[in-house]
Amino acid sequence: MKSPLRRIEISLSRLSIITRFRLCVELLLPRYGLGWVLWGWGSWVRKMSGKDILLVWKRSGEESCRVRERNKRWVLVWTLGMVLLLTGGCGARRRAAPLGVTPIYEEPQGHRVPSAVESLRPGPAVVVPPSTGVFAPVLVPAPKPEAMGIVTNTPVRSVWTSVGTWAVTNELKLEPMRMLQGEYVWSTPHGLMSFRAGSMVGRWEGASFWLSTPPRLTARGDLELQSLDLAKLCRPLLEPSFGVKLGKRVVVVDAGHGGRSLGTRSVVDGRLEKEFTLDWGLRLSKLLKAKGWNVVMTRTNDVDVAVEDRIALANSVGAGFFVSLHFNAESTHTQSGLEAYCLTPVGMASHLQRDQSDRPDVECVNNRFDDDNTRLGMRVHHAMIKGAGVADRGLRRARYPAVLRNQNCPAVLVEGGYLSHRTEAVLISKPEYRQRLAEALARVFE
């Protein structure tokens, strides 16, 4: 009686050559390319047509010779496939990085590993009925993945413009410029705005925000900024009223990561980002409800929620604002402080880029809310800096977070501190500090 292994070998050997080739094509070609197909086909057919058959079946000497001759042809096929595989030819494709692995990316000045917003795995979204405040699971179907955006047909131009001339042209109320500790300061009806020549960082009421290009000083002593910075960053701050109609006063609170998407890890006690963001989100939700807001959380426990489901949830409840909560990490363990991100306007370069190319000519869904994104982001960042009392890393711009790109409402991603910085990680681990973060954010929605 034949062993199970030999019975399997005999069954495989009875497959026709065409069937074996089709199996190799179906299993290997879509993912690995022609090099893997030839290598796999040659190896399998050589093995099953020659060596194993001779071990399992007893053939006459003449037939064995014929099988060995045929075996030589499969050796040639196997060798060709191996050559193509090693040289990367014939469309061999690179394997995608596994989900949950966050590559290291660098920003212009500071060297951080951003939270893996886009490494979330699929999962159901949980909708909180605003009227009852009781969590009821409602599955929101994830839409088809959207592209980065659409390429604009008209190129966006940005030119150097004097701040004073720009204010007069646009009938904006700016007091005459004055110098204050090396900064050029303008007084407005809504606060102080200041810049420093050659610095990417501007300030609004003491909180910093990043420009696309450092300002320059002319020979006449005027400070000039790029027209896009003035239009997309400065003007919304001079006109603080939100352009969107709030309607149902719904805020979606997105606790970053969850489930198998762990986020970063504290250098102090090893606790995970996903745990801290959920606690922060629950505290914020409670405070906002007390202020009369309808609050919807993308997750209320440790589950995976896909980015597409988070976006679909915000759309389904008619969100007025979307706030995504995260914590930071970087490899040198020296960076600390708070920062916030809004979607980069068309025509500007992002302050933080990931592995995909950052295309200033691409318009995303959320770019329709550029002005309100700036207003929301600056209010959030200003309140966080004032409430938390830690280093100010500024309001920045990025295109990589899909959770921002495809939102149909003003959206901001908040980084509540660095879990890779020992002192700040100790703070984050304390419930009192997370409560301060929640209270600071809640003050934005008075």
Which two tokens mark 295? 């609050």
Radius of gyration of the chain (CA): 29
State how far Cα 124 lies from the chain centre.
19
pLDDT confidence band for 69 (50 / 70 / 90): low
pLDDT at 119: 33
Q: Are 117 and 256 contacting, i.e. CB atoms less than 8 angstroms apart?
A: yes
Find the angle CA(83)-CA(89)-CA(95) to the nearest 5 degrees.
105
pLDDT, one tens digit per residue, over 323-334 is 999 999 999 999
3-state secondary structure of 207: strand
pLDDT, one tens digit per residue, over 356-396 is 668 888 899 999 999 999 999 999 999 999 999 899 999 99
pLDDT at 54: 38
What value does the mean pLDDT of the chain take? 76
Strand residues in 164-283 grouped as ranges (E):
178-180, 183-188, 191-195, 201-204, 207-210, 216-217, 223-226, 250-255
pTM of the model: 0.67
Out of 14-28, 97-111, 172-186, 214-228, pick the least confident: 97-111
pLDDT, one tens digit per residue, over 414-436 is 999 999 999 999 999 999 999 99
Find the angle CA(228)-CA(146)-CA(119) to the nearest 5 degrees.
95
Domains of the chain: 4-87 (no CATH), 120-151+245-445 (3.40.630.40), 160-238 (3.30.457.10)
Could you tell me how many helices (H) and strands (E) the chain has, helices first? 14, 16
pLDDT confidence band for 155 (50 / 70 / 90): low
